[in-house]
Amino acid sequence: MRSSMATDTVMPGAIPSSSSGHPIRWAAAAGRWQFAGSGASFLGPVSAEDPQAYGLALTDRDLTDGSVRVKIRFSPPDVAAGVVLGFQSQRSRYIIAELGAYMRAYTIAEFVPSIGWQSLESVGSVENLDGNREYDVELLQTGQEIRMSVDGVRVIEQTLAQPLAGRQVGLFAFGKIRVDFSELVVRSARPSVFVAMQFGQQFDALYREVIYPCVEKFGLNIVRMDEVPGPGIIFEDMKRQIAEAQIVIAEITPNQNVFYELGYAHALNKPTILVAQRGKELPFDIRSYRVIFYDDSIGGKPALERSLQKHLEAILSESHAS
């Protein structure tokens, strides 16, 4: 085999919920399929001679943050079956969480144009899968964090190297034998914005009076490290929160800790919005980036809020268009 629910948004550019009340609509993009309500059956390739025997079924459901759950019945090791996340087109990157791929039990794989499918992480042997039963597969997508659970047991957690190109949800099968999918449910959650900034009275006021209310207007969650509850290693919590965020806002008026967080966000190709006090000299390696400069005054806050709103609208509109 081949190697918290979304709320109604009030700002333009904000991402709507994909958990629609209407029945799921389907489109067969590759292979032969039958569709009925929230279920689908892959019947095999269009041609028996097709060396690339795979099926791709697309839905009208979109997801940026949230969960996908479906029941799968198939016959390993002759076929693989799973869920597609982040689909935009067959010429763009997307993710597949599969059962039975690469002779492994559980896999998160990535389709890369001009390269094809490649495994990001695999767990267990395909010999442990049983073709005489149905598997309950659930995916949790939080920013660039993908968690795969099977029958209520988490089996893989993967941080993607970059944001997904698209948002469309689909189903995938590989092989020439029938695969049945049933009870597909897609639930959206509110994406989050991670704020990296220095702590202290001056910056706390900027956060409370400008950044926090501006982000909330878009129906997004907002996270700052001093507000993350519970025990744990701060460094690991920071990495997880950045990976799970859709956008990072960094107040970069020179602070070494913030630059570390910004560097990690850039390593993940995360959309970032940089803000800094006007008149402060920035490090050389930051000067080439677009920065929102603001005046540390009463009049400077409304101007910063307007600029921040425009940047959020631009990022969210681009994401929605994909």
Query: What is the reported pLDDT for 265?
Result: 95
306-317 pLDDT, tens per residue? 999 999 999 998
Q: What does the DSSP 8-state code read for residue 280?
A: P
Most confident of 112-121, 144-153, 270-279: 144-153
Query: What is the reported pLDDT for 203?
Result: 86
- Of 133, 159, 188, the residue at which a domain comes to its end is 188
- Of 148, 167, 188, the residue at which a domain comes to its end is 188
When pLDDT is cut at 50, 70 and 90, the band that residue 281 belongs to is confident
Q: Is the pLDDT of residue 90 over 70?
A: yes
What gap in Å lies between CA 122 and CA 155, rounded to an integer? 9
**Domain, as residue range, for 252:** 192-321
Q: Give the start-end residues of each E strand in 63-134.
A: 65-73, 80-87, 94-99, 104-112, 116-125
Main-chain dihedrals φ then ψ at residue 95, nearest 5 degrees: -110, 145
239 and 128, same domain (yes or no) = no
Question: Global pTM?
Answer: 0.86
Q: Is the pLDDT of residue 213 over 80?
A: yes
Coil, helix or strand at residue 235: helix
Q: Is the pLDDT of residue 86 over 80?
A: yes
Letter for the amino acid at 195? V
Overall domain count for the chain: 2
Residue 263 maps to which CATH number? 3.40.50.450
159 and 284, same domain (yes or no) = no
When pLDDT is cut at 50, 70 and 90, the band that residue 226 belongs to is confident
Main-chain dihedrals φ then ψ at residue 301, nearest 5 degrees: -70, -45
Residue 62 maps to which CATH number? 2.60.120.560
On whether residue 142 sits in a domain, the answer given is: yes
Query: What is the reported pLDDT for 201?
Result: 80
H helices of the chain, in order, are: 201-206, 212-216, 234-244, 256-267, 300-321
What gap in Å lies between CA 115 and CA 118, rounded to an integer? 8
CA-based end-to-end distance of the chain? 31
27-83 pLDDT, tens per residue? 999 999 999 999 999 999 988 777 668 999 999 999 999 999 999 999 999 899 999
Higher pLDDT, 201 or 3: 201
121 and 259, same domain (yes or no) = no
183 and 34, same domain (yes or no) = yes
β-bridge partners, 55: 173
Query: What is the reported pLDDT for 217?
Result: 94
On whether residue 21 sits in a domain, the answer given is: no
On whether residue 3 sits in a domain, the answer given is: no
Please state, in angstroms and as integers, the Cα–Cα distance from residue 54 to each residue in 101, 117, 271, following that order: 12, 12, 33
